[in-house]
Amino acid sequence: MGNEAIALGALRAGVQVAAGYPGTPSTEILETLVKYHKESLRFREDGPGSREHGYEAPGCSGFIHAEWSVNEKAALEVAAGAAWAGARVLVTMKQVGLNVASDPLMSLNYLGVQGALVVAVADDPGPISSQTEQDTRRFGLYAKIAVFDPASPEEAYRMIGDAFAFSAKYRRPVIFRPSTRVCHSYAAVELLPELPGGEKPGGFEKQGGRWVIFPSLSYRSHLKIEEDLRSLGEDFSSYPGNRISFESGPAARKGIACGGVSRMYTKEVLAALSPAPDCRVLEIAAYPFPDRLALEFLAGLEEVLVVEELDPVIEDALVNLAGREHLPLKIRGKRSGDSPEAGENTLAALEDRFRSFLGIFSKAGEAGFCPAPGAEPPKTAGPAVSSALPPPLPVRPPVLCAGCPHRASFFAVKDAVRLFEGGRRRAVYSGDIGCYTLGNAQPLDMVDTCLCMGAGITAAQGINRVESALGRDTLNFAFIGDSTFFHTGIPGIVNAVYNDANIIVVVLDNYTTAMTGSQPHPGTGFSLYGSPAAKISIPGVLDALGVKGTLRLNPFDFPSAREGVLSLLDKKGLRALVFEAPCIMVSRGSGPCLVDSALCTGCGACVKKLGCPALSLGIAEGGRKTCLLDSALCTGCGLCRHLCAFGAIAGGAS
């Protein structure tokens, strides 16, 4: 996997400290780094002759510390301290995590580093698993930080070593920007010998306030940053990742400029076109923009098509360069409407774009390189292999897993609000980032707002202020997960206590960072290495911050959970409850429930109220409607059993 290649490349480059916060598509980088570090330790302990020895990856022979930090800001600050002490440091996050880490990163570029520091930020065009599409190349321009943009797992493995080398050379942080398709695609990667530069850190040296940011220092640093950017741009004109390729001759009049994973798509499409296109290709893998190389590419061209994800970074640079140099050519891309402004590039879309741009069209009846989904199959003279393309896969909306404790927690709150004062009180449910965001779907409909990590608690406070000013006695709930609580939820609690907020905070503690693949966090009692760590109590934190009387409830004990919620609804001020039950990826449960079709009336209450994927309505013997329970999905949580008025569901948890 691309993320595994990045981790192995960082080990090869001599990484000594690594920190991050789990976020798809970046999560596996740190997990892989720790995996091979642990295997290397076993290798050295057991010796190569042992059948059970681990694998000693290049770069694992020295000091390495890795951690899941409480959030991306903390991770980068840990990394900054280690880099000031001379270490080679890696920080990992996804693109929205960079928003959290942006404050220290902006200042860190002004201070610089003593060792080397690479910030791996995984962008998510689509977006596939994120709130937003963001282009980290644009952030690099804004922060005046060099950016490396790999196109494949193989290139990512080698390129992250280059990122460490450039960081060490210029003594500044650099950004490494793989996108989802690079992070999660697979390739065979040849492991190379360890790179030079992973020597033992020299330790922290005070250097007369060298690492203390003051306005006078910032002014001088800004001048040096601009000087370094010019030097980097010149270096990157000779950097092997930035290159001119696929030139069919000096007479080419059209060119294609591309970056990131779109470089791979461009090569594949152009190689498959017939006749072979007469064009020139500029590949950009590192920024600041390599002006000298780009001028060589533009020489003699009349028209250029730019292919990139997401922002027109290459396009803007080429337009700027052509304007400064008074070059008579047309540059097409997002600005001109020749490329989409959002989403991923695909082979099919690029083939259409390239054929149009280069004037190469399929002959009548000829199949395209990559037919669009749902397109009619080509007509052939011989017998048809199939009469139609396979039907498209059905769209399956995201849903909480069968047996998810969040479903039980949401339903306990929903049912308590229904019963309280005859259901006359209006309730607003502010959610947060995590699996529980899926509680917005029907039939639960329990997430009315979701902004960013930790914002549910603070947004609920803002909503309640306005609702109260309008004379509305609204119940304002704020749902937040256990990992998110530690990430950025605690400041919201402090704000609520300090400003005497009137909200109900609901912490959904499923004992893991579930959405990104069950990573540990400060409340689990385990570190990234799987070793025991201090276990921080969420109720204890709430109590220490001034939230008194926090309730701890088991969501699968439905009657007690509902009564616990009801007990808070007629109170005022800041109230909190913690629903505690493990994610099904941590604990699979006690076995499936069973449906007695003789007792089931087919009313469908369990299906319609819960939306559990293990439940559906079908036909029993005699043609009666009945509830059907998929034993392969059911974890035996027993929530549906509490809803059945006829006692038709049995088994599962007690």
Residue pLDDT, tens place only, 294-309: 999 999 899 999 999 9
Q: Report the first-to-last Cα separation within the chain, whole angstroms.
A: 42
Percent of the chain, pLDDT > 90?
Answer: 55
DSSP label at 65? E
Residue pLDDT, tens place only, 360-392: 865 433 445 444 444 444 444 444 444 456 788
**Where does residue 28 fall: left (phi above 0), alpha (psi -120 to 50 degrees), or beta otherwise?**
alpha
Of 90, 66, 121, 100, nearest in space to 13 by CA: 90
On average, the pLDDT of the chain sits at 88
At 450, is the pLDDT very low, low, confident or very high (cuts 50, 70, 90)?
confident
Of 32-36, 213-217, 578-582, 622-626, which one has max mean pLDDT? 578-582
How far are the Cα atoms of 64, 117, 651, 653 from residue 632, in angstroms, in the given order? 42, 47, 15, 16
Reported as type and span, the H/E element at residue 539 is helix 538-544
Provide the β-strand partners of residue 91: 19, 119
State the average pLDDT over residues 325-347. Answer: 91
Q: How far apart are CA 162 and CA 642, in angstroms?
A: 59
Of 151-155, 218-222, 349-353, which one has max mean pLDDT? 151-155
Residue 116 sits at φ, ψ, to 5 deg, of: -150, 145
- Write down the residue that tokens 């140099």 correspond to: 325
Of 303, 281, 308, nearest in space to 293 by CA: 281
Provide the β-strand partners of residue 120: 92, 176
Query: 378 or 159: whose pLDDT is higher?
Result: 159
Q: Which of 243-252, 556-565, 590-599 has the lowest average pLDDT?
A: 243-252
Residue 418 sits at φ, ψ, to 5 deg, of: -60, -40
pLDDT value at 642 more than 70 = yes
CA dihedral 160, 163, 169, 172 (to 10 degrees): -130
Tell me how far apart the 2 most distant CA atoms of the chain are, in Å: 88
Of 298, 302, 301, 328, nearest in space to 314 by CA: 298
Determine the pLDDT at residue 156: 96
Determine the pLDDT at residue 378: 42
Residue pLDDT, tens place only, 601-623: 999 999 999 999 999 999 887 78
Q: How far apart are CA 169 and CA 257, in angstroms?
A: 28
Residue pLDDT, tens place only, 10-67: 999 999 989 999 989 999 999 999 998 888 777 666 665 544 445 667 877 777 888 8
What's CA 592's distance to the chain center, in Å? 33
Residue pLDDT, tens place only, 248-286: 556 688 999 999 999 999 999 998 887 778 889 999 999
Residue 284 sits at φ, ψ, to 5 deg, of: -115, 120
Determine the pLDDT at residue 314: 95
Determine the pLDDT at residue 612: 93
Extract the tokens encoding 309.
Answer: 């994800």
Determine the pLDDT at residue 218: 85
**Where does residue 317 fall: left (phi above 0), alpha (psi -120 to 50 degrees), or beta otherwise?**
alpha
At 579, is the pLDDT very low, low, confident or very high (cuts 50, 70, 90)?
very high
Of 393, 346, 349, nearest in space to 374 by CA: 393
One-letter amino acid for residue 225 of the chain: I
Q: How far apart are CA 116 and CA 7, in angstroms?
A: 16
Q: Which of 211-220, 401-410, 432-441, 603-612 has the lowest average pLDDT?
A: 211-220
In the chain the domains, ranked by start, together with CATH numbers, are 2-200 (3.40.50.970), 243-358 (3.40.50.920), 405-580 (3.40.50.970), 593-651 (3.30.70.20)
- Write down the residue that tokens 């004990």 correspond to: 557
Determine the pLDDT at residue 43: 64
Write out 469-521 in H/E/C secondary structure: HCCCCCEEEEEEEHHHHHHHHHHHHHHHHHCCCCCEEEEEECCCECCCCCECC
Extract the tokens encoding 10.
Answer: 């960082």
Give buried/exposed letters for 497-531 (b at 16+ CB in 10 A, else e): eeeebbbbbbbbbbbbbbbbeebbbbbbebbbbee
Determine the pLDDT at residue 192: 92
**Per-position DSSP letters for 433-445, written without gaps between them:** SSGGGGGGSTTT-
One-letter amino acid for residue 309 of the chain: E
Contacts of 425 (CB under 8 A, 6+ apart): 417, 473, 474, 475, 569
Of 480, 513, 273, 499, nearest in space to 370 by CA: 273
